[in-house]
Amino acid sequence: MTLVDTTMQGTSPIEKIKTFFDTDRGVSPVIAVALLILIAIGFAVAIQGVGTDIVDSVQEPPEANIDGNPQAPESGSDTGSIVLTVDSVQNADELEIQIDGEDQEVEDWRDPRSGLTEEVDVEYGQDIQVQVVAINLPDDERVVYTYEVPDSN
């Protein structure tokens, strides 16, 4: 079965093409429908993201303000110390003191809070670095304090 357009019978193909392009059809209804579909999809994605906690899974990184007070070695000795004090903690489950990358087991710092103090012995003249790392479990870490131990000279 063939459908025949009875309104265009007897006209040349060029006139049919002209008539097709001369119609008063607008583009704005097509654009409006496309925009409505995009807005609906955007709302659906936003609702789905909140519903599955994707939006809430973005957390602030762990932070801590640490005050370091170096104690110079006594005369005739290369061993001094640094007193580390926690001023404030945000989003950190643990604080870790490291000397040259090695963790110093400090039990109190596993439950961080303001006011914690720890004195760490350091040997001057050996290019040692003392760091405090704030950890937000399971695997978000950030160095929040670094102290380069100076030469003993």
pLDDT in tens, the chain (153 residues): 555 555 666 677 777 777 666 656 666 778 888 999 999 999 998 888 777 766 555 678 889 999 998 888 888 788 888 899 999 999 888 999 998 888 888 888 888 889 989 998 888 877 889 999 999 888 788 999 998 888 755
pLDDT at 123: 84
In a domain, 57, yes or no: no
Q: Residues 20, 89: one domain?
A: no
Q: Residues 69, 94: one domain?
A: yes
Q: Residues 82, 32: one domain?
A: no
Contacts made by residues 104-110, CB under 8 angstroms, sequence distance 24+: none
Helix, strand or coil, per DSSP, at residue 77:
coil
pLDDT at 17: 73
Q: Residues 29, 102: one domain?
A: no
In a domain, 31, yes or no: yes
pLDDT at 109: 83
Q: Residues 67, 47: one domain?
A: no
Q: Residues 14, 82: one domain?
A: no
pLDDT at 61: 85
What is the domain range of residue 11?
6-51
Phi, psi for 30 (deg, rounded to 5): -65, -45
Q: Residues 35, 86: one domain?
A: no
Q: For residue 34, give Cα distances in angstroms to 20, 25, 27, 28, 48.
A: 23, 16, 11, 10, 21
Helix, strand or coil, per DSSP, at residue 22:
coil
